[in-house]
Structure 1
Amino acid sequence: MAKQPSKPTVRRARSRPTKDAQLMPSLSPTMARWLTVLALVMVIGGAILWLRAWISDPNNLKIQKVEWHGDFQFLKQAELEAIAEPFTQTNLYLLDTDGLEQSLEKNSWVRGVSLRKVWPNQLLVEVETQFPIAFWGDDKLLNQFGEIYDGTLPEKQGVFPIIYSPQTSGRVMGERYVQLTKMLAGLDLEIIELSEDERGSWRMKVRHGPEIIIGRKEQEKRVQRFRVGYMQGLKNRLGEIDQIDLRYTNGFAVEWKPGAAVSSLNGDTEPSLRS
């Protein structure tokens, strides 16, 4: 029999890895974490830059409400609102707080200002206003802390006392006024003026009564002497007296108003060196 021809052996070619099929090197867990953190930081940083650019526009998140707190008995709130209005045409981020506080405090009736931002668009303004207790000379006022400030208060003329000294602080003069008021307690006398001149000599005036010259020395002792004289005879004739001078060693001198009937009062003594 004839031999069958044998089938040729087919060889399979081995597949070779292409460049595209090459495996990427694997990342370690630590490197993966660092890359994640870096990506997160970049996202957050971008968001912050965008937010900063957005809020730097005064038309974004504009201040919608300004709330005022304080005692406006002697000061109109509208005056402060007019001062603040140009500053509040922006948002809280761009608000010039220092400039606003300084501008408000230029008003002589404002003793202090504090600002509080309430996000997103509200501003609270706390105003400490001046509280006057006396006139300081002709054109200034004295507050409860003994501080002198510019101001007028026509409606309090004749109500508030007038205090003045060219050389002594308002606080010291205020303390003297309180001291003298206590020394005259119970006499139904109200001090409406108290002044000190360049030499340090004190003078006071009582309501519906005379000017009383106290002098530079022994003021407490002299006022006590006046108190005794007042109780002994001056009380009923105080309206007839123009001036009382306490600058005597053991008593005081009385200057009567024109037309007043002059009579001897206990408390009058011989004149001596005045100071």
Structure 2
Amino acid sequence: MNAVSALLLAALVGTLAWGALRWAVRLPTFNFRAIQVEGDVSRNSVASLRANALPRLHGSFLSLNLKEGRAAFEAVPWVRHAQLQRVWPMRLKVSLEEHRPAAYWEARVDGADAGSEATAERALVNTFGEVFQANLGDVEDEDLPVLAGPAGTAGLMLQMWRALSPAAEKLGESIDRLDLSGRGSWRVTFGSGPVIELGRGTEAEVVDRFGRFAQSITQVTSTYRSPLLSADLRHADGYAVKLRGVTVQTPGKPVNRKR
């Protein structure tokens, strides 16, 4: 009986202590007196953080769940990662890492091929190849390429865009758009307009194919003194090009010049 009484008394004391602790942590004394934000804040103002994150924070210095607090800040547009830390007395330190946009993203719907307009709503891709949602008006003055491909391929496509860009730059061009079809075929659109069909293959194969094209195409355009309109690199023994105002006649119909 004494053991049972002692156990009941301990349980009662524990319950009272727990209740007292829960009551104490809710006292105004333990409310946060300041929230210190540091790190990347170029895309978010104090007002936007206050409006989007603070309403999601619940608890005091003692009771705040840091995991839930981190989620509250990471739900704010442009915030990629947040780290929270309690700092005595009664302060919350928040370190933010923002998304750095690298490209626009258009996820191609099932069955849509490269060049098709049947895509989902446009989003953004950061420098890590991660897709995120933000106000596109915030980047309208930035010269970002468009990546369009099947869902889940944004990282792969950003890597391919980076691998192809040096060869394009040697031609004085920029890759404004890169498409990947559901069948794995690549297409490049230059800033000046020409469209280049790269075909399928590994990254190394596609980059090598495009590099060989970039090394020789200026000879073709110089010979015919005509700008490039499009090119098709999906030929085993060369590539076909379309130049403005230039055709080669065969019996019955004109065809594009092939190199």
The TM-score with structure 1 as length reference comes to 0.67
- Whether the 8 Å contact between 2:125 and 2:154 is mirrored in structure 1 is yes
- Structure 1 segment 185-196 matched on structure 2, within 5 A: 185-196=169-180
Aligned to 1:117, what secondary structure does the other structure show?
A: strand
Please state how far the C-alpha of 1:239 moved relative to its aligned partner: 8.4
What secondary structure sits across from 2:128 in the alignment?
coil
SS at match of 2:47: helix
The answer (yes or no) to whether the contact 1:253–1:268 under 8 Å persists in 2 is: yes
Work out which structure has the larger RCO, using CA pairs closer than 8 Å and 6 or more positions apart in sequence.
2
Residue in structure 2 matched with residue 140 of structure 1 by the alignment: 123
Other-structure match for 2:73: 104
Distance (whole Å) between structure 2 residues aligned to residue 88 and residue 224 of structure 1: 52
1:211 aligns with 2:180: no
Shift in Å, 1:52 = 4.1
- Structure 1 window deviating more from structure 2 (78-87 vs 58-67): it is 78-87
**Structure with bigger gyration radius:** 1
Kindly indicate whether the alpha-carbon contact (under 8 Å) linking 2:195 and 2:230 is maintained by their aligned counterparts in 1: yes
Identity rate, percent: 27
Distance 2:225 2:32 in 1: 63
The within-5 A match list for 1:257-272 is: 260-262=244-246, 268-269=257-258
Instruction: For 1:51-200, list aligned pairs within 5 A.
Output: 52=21, 55-86=24-55, 91-137=60-106, 139-154=122-137, 155-156=139-140, 159-166=143-150, 169-200=153-184
SS in structure 2 at match of 1:231? helix
Amino acid across the alignment from 2:140: K
**Stretches of structure 1 lacking an aligned partner (at least 5 in a row):** 1-47, 271-275
For residues 97-143 of structure 1, the C-alpha deviation after alignment (integer angstroms, 9 at most, x for no partner) is 23222222223522111111111221111111111111111511111
Question: How many residue pairs end up in the alignment?
Answer: 219
* 1:225 alignment partner in structure 2: 212
State the superposition RMSD in angstroms: 3.2
Q: Bigger shift: 246-255 or 123-132? A: 246-255
Which blocks of at least 5 consecutive residues in structure 2 are unaligned? 1-16, 107-120, 249-255
Assess if the C-alpha contact under 8 Å between 1:167 and 1:198 holds in 2.
no
SS at match of 2:70: helix
Alignment partner, residue 254 of structure 1: 241
**Distance in 2 between the 1:209 and 1:255 partners?**
12
Q: Which amino acid aligns with 2:179?
A: S
* 1:156-197 residue CA offsets vs partner (Å, 9 max, x unmatched): 367101112205522221111111113334221111111100
